[in-house]
Amino acid sequence: MRIDAAYFAQGVTYEEFKASMTRNREQVEANERAVPLDPADVAALRALPRPLHVVAIVEDWCADVVANLPVLARLAEASGKLDLRVFDKSKHPEAIGRYKKEGKFESIPVFVFFDEAFREVGVWIERPASVTARRAERRAAIYASDRAFGSPDAPPADLPDEVRARLLAALLQMRADLKPWADREVIRELREIVGRAVAA
Amino acid sequence: MSARVRITYCAECGYEPQTLALASALMTALGGRLSAIELVPWLDGTFDVSVNGDLVHSMARDGGFPEPAAVVAAVRARL
Protein backbone atom coordinates (compact mmCIF):
# COMPACT_ATOMS: atom_id res chain seq x y z
CA MET A 1 0.00 0.00 0.00
CA ARG A 2 1.39 3.38 -1.01
CA ILE A 3 0.86 6.38 1.21
CA ASP A 4 -0.56 9.32 -0.70
CA ALA A 5 -2.30 12.57 0.19
CA ALA A 6 -5.69 10.90 0.65
CA TYR A 7 -4.27 8.27 3.01
CA PHE A 8 -2.20 10.85 4.87
CA ALA A 9 -5.38 12.79 5.60
CA GLN A 10 -6.71 9.79 7.55
CA GLY A 11 -4.10 10.32 10.25
CA VAL A 12 -4.64 12.40 13.35
CA THR A 13 -2.57 15.26 14.70
CA TYR A 14 -0.16 14.66 17.56
CA GLU A 15 -2.48 16.47 19.95
CA GLU A 16 -5.42 14.35 18.80
CA PHE A 17 -3.35 11.23 19.29
CA LYS A 18 -2.43 12.26 22.83
CA ALA A 19 -6.09 12.93 23.59
CA SER A 20 -6.92 9.40 22.40
CA MET A 21 -4.22 7.65 24.45
CA THR A 22 -5.46 5.03 26.90
CA ARG A 23 -2.15 4.95 28.80
CA ASN A 24 1.27 6.61 29.06
CA ARG A 25 0.05 10.11 28.18
CA GLU A 26 1.72 11.65 31.25
CA GLN A 27 5.02 10.02 30.35
CA VAL A 28 4.74 11.17 26.74
CA GLU A 29 4.20 14.74 27.91
CA ALA A 30 7.05 14.51 30.42
CA ASN A 31 9.32 13.23 27.65
CA GLU A 32 8.12 16.03 25.39
CA ARG A 33 9.13 18.64 27.96
CA ALA A 34 12.54 17.03 28.42
CA VAL A 35 13.57 16.80 24.75
CA PRO A 36 17.04 18.41 24.57
CA LEU A 37 16.38 20.52 21.46
CA ASP A 38 19.25 22.66 20.28
CA PRO A 39 18.72 25.85 18.23
CA ALA A 40 20.85 24.23 15.51
CA ASP A 41 18.32 21.38 15.26
CA VAL A 42 15.50 23.81 14.67
CA ALA A 43 17.57 25.84 12.21
CA ALA A 44 18.40 22.69 10.24
CA LEU A 45 14.73 21.89 9.79
CA ARG A 46 13.83 25.45 8.99
CA ALA A 47 16.30 25.22 6.10
CA LEU A 48 13.83 22.97 4.33
CA PRO A 49 12.48 24.82 1.29
CA ARG A 50 9.07 23.25 1.81
CA PRO A 51 7.53 21.30 4.70
CA LEU A 52 7.79 17.53 4.69
CA HIS A 53 4.82 15.31 5.39
CA VAL A 54 5.58 12.81 8.15
CA VAL A 55 3.59 9.68 8.92
CA ALA A 56 4.11 8.30 12.44
CA ILE A 57 2.89 4.72 12.98
CA VAL A 58 2.52 4.11 16.70
CA GLU A 59 0.63 2.47 19.57
CA ASP A 60 0.31 3.90 23.03
CA TRP A 61 1.60 0.85 24.95
CA CYS A 62 5.00 0.89 23.25
CA ALA A 63 7.99 2.19 25.22
CA ASP A 64 9.82 3.26 22.08
CA VAL A 65 6.78 5.24 20.96
CA VAL A 66 6.52 6.88 24.38
CA ALA A 67 10.22 7.75 24.21
CA ASN A 68 10.59 8.84 20.60
CA LEU A 69 7.32 10.19 19.25
CA PRO A 70 7.65 13.28 21.52
CA VAL A 71 11.09 13.97 20.03
CA LEU A 72 9.64 14.08 16.52
CA ALA A 73 6.68 16.13 17.71
CA ARG A 74 8.93 18.73 19.35
CA LEU A 75 10.99 19.02 16.16
CA ALA A 76 7.79 19.46 14.17
CA GLU A 77 6.35 22.05 16.51
CA ALA A 78 9.57 24.07 16.87
CA SER A 79 10.45 24.12 13.18
CA GLY A 80 7.04 24.40 11.56
CA LYS A 81 8.47 22.32 8.71
CA LEU A 82 7.15 18.86 9.52
CA ASP A 83 3.49 18.18 8.79
CA LEU A 84 2.95 15.28 11.19
CA ARG A 85 0.07 12.81 11.10
CA VAL A 86 -0.16 9.95 13.55
CA PHE A 87 -1.58 6.52 12.70
CA ASP A 88 -2.47 4.06 15.45
CA LYS A 89 -1.25 0.71 14.13
CA SER A 90 -4.10 -1.14 15.82
CA LYS A 91 -6.59 0.92 13.81
CA HIS A 92 -4.48 1.12 10.64
CA PRO A 93 -2.65 -2.22 10.43
CA GLU A 94 -2.13 -1.68 6.71
CA ALA A 95 0.07 1.36 7.30
CA ILE A 96 3.14 -0.61 8.39
CA GLY A 97 3.06 -3.05 5.48
CA ARG A 98 6.03 -1.57 3.59
CA TYR A 99 7.90 -0.44 6.67
CA LYS A 100 8.66 -3.59 8.62
CA LYS A 101 12.02 -3.67 10.33
CA GLU A 102 14.34 -5.98 8.40
CA GLY A 103 11.30 -6.67 6.22
CA LYS A 104 9.57 -8.80 8.85
CA PHE A 105 9.18 -7.17 12.27
CA GLU A 106 6.33 -4.71 12.95
CA SER A 107 8.54 -2.56 15.16
CA ILE A 108 7.21 0.84 16.15
CA PRO A 109 7.38 3.74 16.04
CA VAL A 110 7.85 4.15 12.30
CA PHE A 111 8.37 7.66 10.98
CA VAL A 112 8.09 8.02 7.20
CA PHE A 113 9.07 11.31 5.58
CA PHE A 114 7.56 12.45 2.26
CA ASP A 115 8.09 15.48 0.07
CA GLU A 116 5.25 17.66 -1.19
CA ALA A 117 4.45 15.15 -3.97
CA PHE A 118 4.43 12.27 -1.46
CA ARG A 119 7.70 10.88 -2.71
CA GLU A 120 9.33 9.06 0.18
CA VAL A 121 12.52 10.73 1.39
CA GLY A 122 13.33 8.69 4.48
CA VAL A 123 12.18 6.09 7.00
CA TRP A 124 13.08 5.83 10.68
CA ILE A 125 12.13 2.78 12.76
CA GLU A 126 11.95 2.06 16.50
CA ARG A 127 15.15 3.55 17.97
CA PRO A 128 18.72 4.26 16.89
CA ALA A 129 21.01 1.22 16.67
CA SER A 130 23.47 3.18 18.79
CA VAL A 131 20.91 3.33 21.61
CA THR A 132 20.25 -0.40 21.42
CA ALA A 133 23.98 -1.08 21.53
CA ARG A 134 24.72 1.21 24.46
CA ARG A 135 21.80 -0.19 26.45
CA ALA A 136 23.17 -3.67 25.86
CA GLU A 137 26.59 -2.61 27.15
CA ARG A 138 25.10 -1.01 30.25
CA ARG A 139 22.82 -3.99 30.81
CA ALA A 140 25.81 -6.31 30.77
CA ALA A 141 27.59 -4.03 33.25
CA ILE A 142 24.61 -4.07 35.60
CA TYR A 143 24.50 -7.85 35.59
CA ALA A 144 28.26 -7.94 36.17
CA SER A 145 27.96 -5.53 39.10
CA ASP A 146 26.12 -7.96 41.37
CA ARG A 147 26.52 -11.74 41.41
CA ALA A 148 22.99 -12.07 42.74
CA PHE A 149 21.69 -10.97 39.34
CA GLY A 150 23.08 -14.12 37.76
CA SER A 151 23.47 -14.51 34.02
CA PRO A 152 21.96 -11.96 31.63
CA ASP A 153 20.78 -14.93 29.60
CA ALA A 154 18.90 -16.61 32.46
CA PRO A 155 15.15 -16.10 32.83
CA PRO A 156 14.58 -13.21 35.27
CA ALA A 157 11.70 -15.13 36.85
CA ASP A 158 14.30 -17.51 38.34
CA LEU A 159 15.57 -14.73 40.59
CA PRO A 160 14.20 -14.24 44.08
CA ASP A 161 11.54 -11.52 44.13
CA GLU A 162 13.72 -9.04 46.03
CA VAL A 163 16.68 -9.51 43.68
CA ARG A 164 14.47 -9.28 40.61
CA ALA A 165 12.94 -6.02 41.86
CA ARG A 166 16.43 -4.61 42.47
CA LEU A 167 17.57 -5.66 39.01
CA LEU A 168 14.48 -4.17 37.37
CA ALA A 169 15.03 -0.89 39.20
CA ALA A 170 18.67 -0.80 38.05
CA LEU A 171 17.69 -1.47 34.43
CA LEU A 172 15.01 1.22 34.45
CA GLN A 173 17.41 3.70 36.06
CA MET A 174 19.99 2.92 33.37
CA ARG A 175 17.44 3.74 30.68
CA ALA A 176 16.48 6.97 32.44
CA ASP A 177 20.14 7.96 32.72
CA LEU A 178 20.65 7.36 29.00
CA LYS A 179 17.47 9.17 27.92
CA PRO A 180 18.95 12.65 27.21
CA TRP A 181 21.75 11.10 25.15
CA ALA A 182 19.28 8.77 23.42
CA ASP A 183 17.09 11.74 22.52
CA ARG A 184 20.10 13.41 20.93
CA GLU A 185 20.74 10.27 18.90
CA VAL A 186 17.14 10.32 17.67
CA ILE A 187 17.46 13.99 16.74
CA ARG A 188 20.75 13.31 14.96
CA GLU A 189 19.19 10.55 12.84
CA LEU A 190 16.05 12.56 12.05
CA ARG A 191 18.23 15.49 11.02
CA GLU A 192 20.14 13.20 8.67
CA ILE A 193 16.89 12.26 6.94
CA VAL A 194 15.82 15.88 6.70
CA GLY A 195 19.28 16.82 5.46
CA ARG A 196 18.89 14.38 2.56
CA ALA A 197 15.60 16.04 1.67
CA VAL A 198 17.24 19.46 1.71
CA ALA A 199 20.07 18.22 -0.52
CA ALA A 200 17.76 16.47 -3.00
CA MET B 1 1.84 -33.15 42.22
CA SER B 2 0.57 -29.66 41.47
CA ALA B 3 2.19 -27.16 39.18
CA ARG B 4 3.24 -23.57 39.56
CA VAL B 5 3.28 -21.70 36.24
CA ARG B 6 5.15 -18.46 35.87
CA ILE B 7 4.63 -16.22 32.84
CA THR B 8 7.24 -13.50 32.47
CA TYR B 9 6.12 -10.93 29.93
CA CYS B 10 7.50 -7.68 28.57
CA ALA B 11 5.34 -5.01 30.18
CA GLU B 12 6.31 -2.39 27.61
CA CYS B 13 5.67 -4.49 24.53
CA GLY B 14 1.88 -4.84 24.54
CA TYR B 15 2.05 -8.52 25.48
CA GLU B 16 -0.77 -8.32 28.03
CA PRO B 17 -3.39 -9.92 25.73
CA GLN B 18 -1.19 -12.97 25.07
CA THR B 19 -0.32 -13.21 28.76
CA LEU B 20 -3.93 -13.11 29.85
CA ALA B 21 -5.02 -15.52 27.09
CA LEU B 22 -2.44 -18.05 28.23
CA ALA B 23 -3.40 -17.64 31.89
CA SER B 24 -7.06 -18.06 30.95
CA ALA B 25 -6.34 -21.22 28.94
CA LEU B 26 -4.42 -22.71 31.87
CA MET B 27 -7.17 -21.84 34.36
CA THR B 28 -9.86 -23.30 32.10
CA ALA B 29 -8.00 -26.50 31.30
CA LEU B 30 -6.38 -27.23 34.64
CA GLY B 31 -8.18 -25.20 37.30
CA GLY B 32 -7.47 -26.45 40.81
CA ARG B 33 -4.68 -28.74 39.64
CA LEU B 34 -2.49 -25.65 39.48
CA SER B 35 -0.95 -24.36 42.68
CA ALA B 36 -0.40 -20.89 41.19
CA ILE B 37 -0.10 -18.84 38.05
CA GLU B 38 2.35 -16.00 38.49
CA LEU B 39 2.51 -13.06 36.08
CA VAL B 40 5.89 -11.35 36.19
CA PRO B 41 6.28 -8.01 34.38
CA TRP B 42 9.67 -7.52 32.75
CA LEU B 43 11.42 -5.75 29.85
CA ASP B 44 13.37 -6.44 26.68
CA GLY B 45 10.73 -8.32 24.67
CA THR B 46 10.58 -11.18 27.14
CA PHE B 47 7.89 -13.86 27.01
CA ASP B 48 8.96 -16.83 29.12
CA VAL B 49 6.82 -19.59 30.55
CA SER B 50 8.13 -21.88 33.25
CA VAL B 51 6.45 -24.78 35.01
CA ASN B 52 7.85 -25.70 38.42
CA GLY B 53 11.02 -23.89 37.39
CA ASP B 54 11.42 -25.63 34.02
CA LEU B 55 11.46 -23.18 31.13
CA VAL B 56 8.92 -24.61 28.68
CA HIS B 57 8.83 -21.62 26.35
CA SER B 58 11.09 -18.65 25.78
CA MET B 59 10.46 -16.10 23.07
CA ALA B 60 14.21 -15.47 22.83
CA ARG B 61 14.98 -19.19 22.57
CA ASP B 62 11.97 -20.54 20.69
CA GLY B 63 10.64 -17.47 18.89
CA GLY B 64 7.13 -16.04 19.09
CA PHE B 65 4.42 -16.80 21.58
CA PRO B 66 3.61 -20.36 22.65
CA GLU B 67 0.43 -22.11 21.64
CA PRO B 68 -1.66 -22.23 24.83
CA ALA B 69 -2.44 -25.90 24.12
CA ALA B 70 1.26 -26.70 24.07
CA VAL B 71 1.76 -25.05 27.45
CA VAL B 72 -1.26 -26.87 28.87
CA ALA B 73 0.26 -30.13 27.63
CA ALA B 74 3.61 -29.25 29.19
CA VAL B 75 1.91 -28.61 32.51
CA ARG B 76 -0.11 -31.85 32.33
CA ALA B 77 3.10 -33.76 31.75
CA ARG B 78 4.41 -32.44 35.06
CA LEU B 79 1.33 -33.13 37.18
Instruction: Note the pLDDT tens digit of each residue in A4-16.
Output: 999 999 999 999 9
In angstroms, the separation between the Cα of residue B61 and the nearest Cα of chain A is 10
Cβ–Cβ gap A155/B12 under 8 Å: no
* pLDDT computed for residue A68 by the predictor: 98
Q: Give me the residue spans of the domains in chain A.
A: 5-127+182-199, 130-172
Cβ–Cβ gap B46/A156 under 8 Å: yes
* pLDDT computed for residue A172 by the predictor: 95
- Does any CB of chain B come closer than 8 Å to the CB of residue A164? yes
- Residue A198 pLDDT > 80, yes or no? no
Instruction: Note the pLDDT tens digit of each residue in A128-186.
Output: 999 999 999 999 999 999 999 999 988 898 899 999 999 999 999 999 999 999 999 99
DSSP state of A51: P
Alpha-carbon distance A166 to A159, whole Å? 10
- Residue A200 pLDDT > 80, yes or no? no
In angstroms, the separation between the Cα of residue A131 and the nearest Cα of chain B is 13
* pLDDT computed for residue A158 by the predictor: 86
Note the pTM of the prediction, 2 decimals: 0.89
| Fold type of domain A5-127+182-199 | Glutaredoxin (3.40.30)
- Does any CB of chain B come closer than 8 Å to the CB of residue A157? yes
ipTM value, please give it.
Answer: 0.80
Q: Mean pLDDT in chain A? A: 95
Among A62, A63, A155, the residue with its CB nearest the CB of B8 is: A155
Buried b (16+ CB within 10 A) or exposed e, B45-68: ebbbbbbeeebbbbbeeeeebbeb
DSSP string, B19-58: HHHHHHHHHHHHGGGEEEEEEEEESTT-EEEEETTEEEEE
Name which residue leads in pLDDT, A69 or A198: A69
